[in-house]
Amino acid sequence: MSILLRRAFVLHRRPFKNTSLLLELFVEGEGRFPAVSRGGAKGSTAGLLQPFTPLRLGWGGRGEVKSLHEVEPDDYQLDRLVGKPLFCGLYLNELLMRLVPRSEPHDQLFGDYIRTLSSLVGEIPLDWSLRLFEMRLLQAAGYELVTDVTLENEPVEPGRNYLYQKGRGFSESPVELSADTSNIISGRTLIALHNKTCDDIQLRQEAKQLLRRVIDYHLDYKPLKSRELFG
Amino acid sequence: MATSLLQELIESLRCLPGVGPKSAQRMAFHLLEHDRDGGRRLASLLSEAMEKISECSRCRTLTEQDVCSVCVSDRRDVSLLCIVESPAELAAIEESTNYNGLYFVLHGRLSPLDGLGPKEIGLDRLESRLDEEVVKEIILATNPTVEGEATAHYISELASSHGILTSRIAHGVPLGGDLGYVDGGTLAHAFAGRQKIE
């Protein structure tokens, strides 16, 4: 019986017993789930079973933790992440682990993940790559952030300011500013997020603050450890 | 049914790595039947070691002194500092290389998903050490894993903010190895890190 090996990434690995690895996998068409690779900490599989390496995997088992049978490198390669892009990659993995529940197939998200990883060594500014992935991840996790229409069903306009309503969306900001201005965001930033393009560093900074608040809200304000790397 | 002392001993031996129920049973019976003296010595040494061995206040390796023998030695080159993930790796370097500088042990690596950030691996202590001492070169001997690379990069930035040179130990084809059997990642790494023959 031949099984088709599936496209996958390792999100996290931990030593398990003497030479085995306990892995958290992100697999195309399957989503994320845990698996054990027996003897995986030894030999050439140890080098392959690392985060950010495109893989083809075969596994079995009925329980929650699957058993990995076959590991092969995928037929394409990504540039090795070094330095700051590597920190960004670790951040992506933590986001996936924290925001996406296990065993929900997220076909689009898998492609988004590959595109984002390759863009981390490309020409798009690093922070903007992260923002676009955060937007897609929120959508996949069921928390889509609608940035072109307000909660009152009005189109977002570049010249106006909007108020972020936790977990819901944006409403037009009242003329008199409330004491807490941290939830105010410009229409230009929202439109940039909708159009997925942004050259203005100030707007990107505003988008970063906004998405940080949105993600923190959905994570019940439990901090993301990888943010400490950016210090 | 209350558990017997023998059962408890077998169960306790299983806390050792690589020891399953069968080996634990064999160890317990061996000590009780053939080597009571050895067992007593092991017991008293174990409890003494657990009480007295802690981290060296300078390099964080395991020692029963306040400062370990490497840190206290005056034959060491204090301008070299080698960063390792664990005391076992420090021991490996001591045994098989002629490295003559000092060490700093992280007891882990930067791994956000395991809850390990800069503080958890003692980088605040490393930084204060860089402030106080005349370190000229930091040698990063973290493992060639994704987390080891992230740790190396983080420390190299810390070092360059102190004007200290950093180097990374070489990774590549093992000695006596065969290129045909080395995985692609290692081979790519070996190519990227090739050296001029002098």
- Give B5-64 pLDDT, tens digit per residue: 999 999 999 999 889 999 999 999 999 999 999 999 999 999 999 999 999 999 999 999
Q: Are residues A18 and A37 in the same domain?
A: yes
Instruction: Identify the DSSP state of B122.
Output: T
Mean pLDDT of the residues in chain A: 89
On whether any CB of chain B is under 8 Å from the CB of A171, the answer is no
Domain-ending residue, one of A54, A73, A92 = A73
Q: Are residues A27 and A90 in the same domain?
A: no
Reported confidence tier of residue B86, pLDDT bands at 50, 70, 90: very high
User: How many domains are there within chain A?
Assistant: 2
Give the per-residue pLDDT at B156.
96
Residue-wise pLDDT for A73-88, tens only, equals 899 888 889 899 999 9
Reported confidence tier of residue B193, pLDDT bands at 50, 70, 90: confident
Dihedral sign from CA coordinates of A224, A225, A226, A228: positive
Q: Are residues A165 and A93 in the same domain?
A: yes
Reported confidence tier of residue A128, pLDDT bands at 50, 70, 90: very high
B96 half-sphere exposure, CB direction, 13 A CA radius = 5
- CATH of residue A21's domain is 2.40.50.140
Residue-wise pLDDT for B90-129, tens only, equals 999 999 999 999 999 999 999 999 999 999 999 999 999 9
Q: Are residues A40 and A93 in the same domain?
A: no
Give the per-residue pLDDT at A198.
84
Measured CA to CA, the distance from residue B22 to residue B34 in angstroms comes to 18
Measured CA to CA, the distance from residue B46 to residue B33 in angstroms comes to 20
Q: Are residues A67 and A91 in the same domain?
A: no
For residue B16, give the nearest of B25, B8, B5, B24 by alpha carbon: B24
Of B110, B116, B186, the CB nearest to A47: B186
The b/e string for A199-218 (b: 16+ C-beta within 10 A; e otherwise) is eeeebbebbbebbeebbeeb
Is A107 within 8 Å of A28 (Cβ atoms)?
yes
Q: Are residues A101 and A212 in the same domain?
A: yes
Give the per-residue pLDDT at A1.
39
Q: Which domain holds residue A175?
A: 84-230
Q: Which residues in chain B (25-84) have CB-CB distances under 8 A to chain A? A: none
* Residues in A touching B115 (Cβ below 8 Å): 225
Measured CA to CA, the distance from residue B125 to residue A173 in angstroms comes to 47
Interacting residues of B25 by C-beta distance below 8 A, sequence separation 6+: B10
Q: Is the pLDDT of residue A229 over 90?
A: yes
Q: Do strands A31-37 and A169-172 pair parallel, antiparallel, or not at all (unpaired)?
A: unpaired
Residue A67 located in a structural domain:
yes
On whether any CB of chain A is under 8 Å from the CB of B143, the answer is no
Q: Are residues A119 and A210 in the same domain?
A: yes
On whether any CB of chain A is under 8 Å from the CB of B119, the answer is yes
Domain-ending residue, one of A42, A73, A104 = A73
- CATH of residue A88's domain is 1.20.1440.120
Residue-wise pLDDT for A22-66, tens only, equals 999 999 999 999 999 998 888 778 888 999 999 999 999 989 999
Residue B5 located in a structural domain:
no
Task: Give me the sheet containing B137-140, strands edge to edge.
Answer: B101-105, B77-84, B137-140, B165-168
Q: Are residues A67 and A88 in the same domain?
A: no
Q: Is the pLDDT of residue A179 over 60?
A: no
pTM of the model as a whole: 0.88
User: How many domains are there within chain B?
Assistant: 1
> Residue A53's closest chain B neighbor by CA?
B185
Instruction: Identify the DSSP state of A223.
Output: P
Of A12, A81, A87, the CB nearest to B113: A12
Reported confidence tier of residue A122, pLDDT bands at 50, 70, 90: confident
To test the contact with chain B by mutation, choose from A55, A224, A228 the residue with the greatest count of B C-beta atoms within 10 A, namely A228
Q: Are residues A92 and A62 in the same domain?
A: no
Of B117, B145, B184, the CB nearest to A225: B117
* Residues in A touching B119 (Cβ below 8 Å): 228
Residue-wise pLDDT for A152-176, tens only, equals 888 998 888 898 888 888 988 765 5
Residue A46 located in a structural domain:
yes
Q: Are residues A165 and A88 in the same domain?
A: yes
Measured CA to CA, the distance from residue A16 to residue A68 in angstroms comes to 13
Q: Which domain holds residue B177?
A: 77-198
Give the per-residue pLDDT at B75.
94
- CATH of residue B156's domain is 3.40.1360.10
Give the per-residue pLDDT at B149.
93
Is B182 within 8 Å of B191 (Cβ atoms)?
no
For residue B184, give the nearest of A121, A73, A65, A192 by alpha carbon: A73
The interface predicted TM-score of the complex, written ipTM, equals 0.85
Residue B107 located in a structural domain:
yes
Reported confidence tier of residue A178, pLDDT bands at 50, 70, 90: low
